[in-house]
Every structure is written in structure tokens, then in C-alpha cells.
Structure 1
Amino acid sequence: MLQERGRVVAIESDAIWVETTQSSACNGCSTKSSCGTGLLGDLFSSSTRIKVALNGFPSDKIHLDDIAVIGITENALTSSALLVYLVPLVSLVLAALIGDSLFAELGAVIGALIGLVVGALGVRWYSRYQSGNPTYTPVLLQIEPSQK
């Protein structure tokens, strides 16, 4: 189970909203302040809000700004990453080959673009189709009270 910590930003009767901050691997590096890569990582870091079911945790014991530990299985992450990267790439290559065999170089370029778009749309459709699948839903593992 892969775990991530995030701050509780909203509480509902059956779920909480957790804000996680995506950061680069440079956060643990001692030379981060003098490195261009570390500075760019800080510039482009962003936060994401995720709705997480309570899974039996009492909502009255959770407060805003508490730290929530959420998790997702390694299998779900691996299969999702493969899907997101491989489907557009394979469709790009296949469509480029088909375009090249039919219309030469210009057909390969246009086919590659069409293949990339079709692959990306296929991934988007599949992710929406799987949105209710509990395998791909993060679970609440632990609540750590805020230090206020």
C-alpha cells in the first residue's frame, strides 16, 4: 500500500477532502536552495484535492487541518501508470505506421497526431468508466491531529 499525507480541508458526513502537495524529489536534498532543478521543482509544485471515504472513521473526531494518511494499492498505481503512458504511445506508433504506408511522410505525421489524440481520449474514457471502481479509490488509513 502506497501512502501519502495530506491536510484535511473539508469534512462531509461520509467523506473528507484531503489536499496533498505534489513536490519533487529535491525536497530531501541538502543542496536544494542552490540547485536550478530544485528551484524549478518548487515553482511547478501543485496541490491536489481528493475526496476520501471515511471507512468507519467517526467524522466528529476529524477536524480541519488534521493530517490524513491515505493509501492506494501498488497494483492500482502500476496498472494506471502503464495505461496512461502506453496506450497513447502505442496508438501513436500504430497510426503513424498506417499513415506512412498509405500517404508517406506527411501521412505518418498526421497519423501520429491522430493516434496520440485517440489514445489520450481512450485513456480518458477508461478512467471515467473506472471512476466507481474501489480498486482505484484512495482509502483513509489514519488521522493525525493537527499541532494547533
Structure 2
Amino acid sequence: MMQSLATVVAVEKHHITVSCQQQTSCGSCASQNSCGTGVVSKVLPGRQHLLKVSTRHLHESVAVGQLVEIGLSERSVLQSALLVYVLPLICMLLGTLLGQWWFVILAGGGELGVIACALAGGAFGLGIAKWRAKHLSVQGDYQPSLLRVLGQPVADGLTINALSKDSSSR
């Protein structure tokens, strides 16, 4: 399970809204001082994300400003990545093959039709991915879950994400 710390920004009846900072792997890389991406990640803060997390199974109360640990299964992240990246690519390749067969072999035409079929296949794959992602987003495996309530932050600088090495000043 992928875990992250977040700050509670709103509390409602059966869910809370939390704010967490996007993390990069540059904080643990050995060559972060000589890498352009590592230097940029030190200068620019990570992006803030607001997420709604269900509290139906929580037995303790949560207040605004508290730190919580949220988690998301690796399986759902990998399946989402396959859906968003691989499906449109496969559809684009199938569109290219269809265009090659249709426009070049059968019609004896140029490659403009092949390019148009490839783009149409990629757009079709993106459409399928968007439709499927809409249906997957309501499933519990694809929603972050509240793992534990940690309490009040130790310092004001730790309220966004205590795990992020990129946001700390060095």
C-alpha cells in the first residue's frame, strides 16, 4: 500500500477532505545535487492535492488541522497507469495497422490516411480510458483510504506533508 501524510482541511458527516503534497523520488536519489530535476524539485514546492476520504469505518473523531495517514493500493495505481497509458497506445498502434492496410495496401494511397487512422485510434483509446476510469473511480479500491489519525502536527512547517523531503529547506 502506498502511504502519505495529509492534513485535514474539512470534516463532514461520512468523509473528510485532506490536503497532501505531491511527492517526487528526488529526495532519496544519490545524484540529486547534480541532476537538473533534483535542483528544480528543491526550488519549486510540490503540487497540492485535495482528496475526499471516507470515514465510515473510523471510530475516533477527526478535526480540521490534524495529520492523518492515507493509503492507496499499488494494484489500483498500476491498473490506472495501464488504462491511461497503455490502452491508448495499443489503440493507436491498431489504428496505424488498420490505416496501413486500408489506405496503402488496398487503396494504394499515401501515408496521410495512415496518420489519420493512428490519431483516430489514439483518440478512441483515450475515450475508452476516460469512460472506464469514470466507472472505476466509484469503486473502493480506487479511492484513498484513511489508515490512521496521527493528531496535531509538531510544527507549522510539517502540516502539509511530513514525509516530503523535497519541501524541506536544506
Task: Identify the residue that residue 147 of structure 1 maps to in structure 2.
Answer: 154
1:7–1:117: structure 2 CA closer, same or farther, 3 Å change rule? same
1:125 Cα deviation after fit:
0.6
Secondary structure (helix, strand or coil) at the match of 1:124 reads helix
Q: Alignment RMSD, CA only?
A: 2.2
1:112–1:29: structure 2 CA closer, same or farther, 3 Å change rule? same
Q: How does 1:31-70 map to 2 (within 5 A)?
A: 32=32, 35-41=35-41, 43=44, 45-58=46-59, 61-70=61-70
What letter matches 2:51 in structure 1?
I
Deviation per residue, 1:26-75 (Å, 9 max, x gap)? 1234764564211333548312111000133257x322222221112222
Look at both structures and tell me which one has the larger radius of gyration over its CA atoms: 2
Secondary structure (helix, strand or coil) at the match of 1:55 reads coil
Task: Identify the residue that residue 20 of structure 1 maps to in structure 2.
Answer: 20
Task: Identify the residue that residue 107 of structure 2 maps to in structure 1.
Answer: none
Question: Gaps (5+ residues) in structure 2?
Answer: 105-110, 156-170
Structure that is richer in helix per residue: 1
Q: Percent identity?
A: 32
- Larger deviation, residues 134-143 vs 98-107: 98-107
Question: Gaps (5+ residues) in structure 1?
Answer: none
Q: Give the Cα–Cα distance (whole angstroms) in 1 for the partners of residues 75 and 30 of structure 2.
A: 32
- Count of paired positions: 147
Secondary structure (helix, strand or coil) at the match of 2:138 reads coil
Secondary structure (helix, strand or coil) at the match of 1:23 reads coil
Secondary structure (helix, strand or coil) at the match of 2:137 reads coil
1:28–1:120: structure 2 CA closer, same or farther, 3 Å change rule? same
Q: Give the Cα–Cα distance (whole angstroms) in 2 for the partners of residues 82 and 31 of structure 1.
A: 29
1:97 Cα deviation after fit:
1.1
Deviation per residue, 1:76-113 (Å, 9 max, x gap)? 22222222221101001000111122224212211111
1:44–1:117: structure 2 CA closer, same or farther, 3 Å change rule? farther
Q: TM-score, normalised by structure 2?
A: 0.75
Which has the bigger relative contact order, CA under 8 A and spacing at least 6?
Answer: 2
Q: Give the Cα–Cα distance (whole angstroms) in 2 for the partners of residues 30 and 62 of structure 1.
A: 38
Task: Identify the residue that residue 136 of structure 1 maps to in structure 2.
Answer: 142
1:84–1:44: structure 2 CA closer, same or farther, 3 Å change rule? farther
